[in-house]
Amino acid sequence: MKCKVVIGVLILFISSLAIADKYTNNVSISQIEVLANGSFRIWSLENISDSGCYESGRLFKVYVGGNGLSSDGAKNLLSIAMLAYSLGHTVDIYHDEAQNCLVSQIRISK
């Protein structure tokens, strides 16, 4: 009986992790705010109600150490975000809603 309960709890835990991460597509970047430790924040031009993020879905956070992101990984994401901002392209942002919308991937779109 205990084995079934443990397996059930593990299944629920794993499924909750799977639904916590999501893509928010076609984000137009209005601002990029770089912090002293190499982390940064991306502000969307429009409200994105289904993103689940702060500021009406406009604020995405890229924190060194958040979601296993290294300092080099944050630099790479920042370069993609800056390129998209300067060219006026949208990005798709992969983030974790359960951890305050911490970003782990950014995909530039045309």
* Helix H or strand E encompassing 18: helix 2-20
Residue-wise pLDDT for 73-109, tens only, equals 999 999 999 999 999 999 999 998 776 789 999 999 7
Residue-wise pLDDT for 13-31, tens only, equals 444 444 468 888 999 999 9
Classify residue 11: in a domain, yes or no: no
Distance CA 95, CA 20 (A): 8
Classify residue 6: in a domain, yes or no: no
Classify residue 5: in a domain, yes or no: no
Classify residue 40: in a domain, yes or no: yes
10, pLDDT greater than 50: no
How many helices (DSSP H) and strands (DSSP E) are in the chain? 3, 6
pTM (2 d.p.): 0.77
User: How far is Cα of residue 61 from the mean position of the Cα atoms in its chain?
Assistant: 6
What domain range is 97 assigned to? 22-108
Classify residue 17: in a domain, yes or no: no
State how many domains the chain has: 1
Classify residue 55: in a domain, yes or no: yes
| CATH number of the domain within which 98 lies | 2.40.50.110
Q: Tell me, what DSSP letter sits at residue 92?
A: E
Classify residue 7: in a domain, yes or no: no
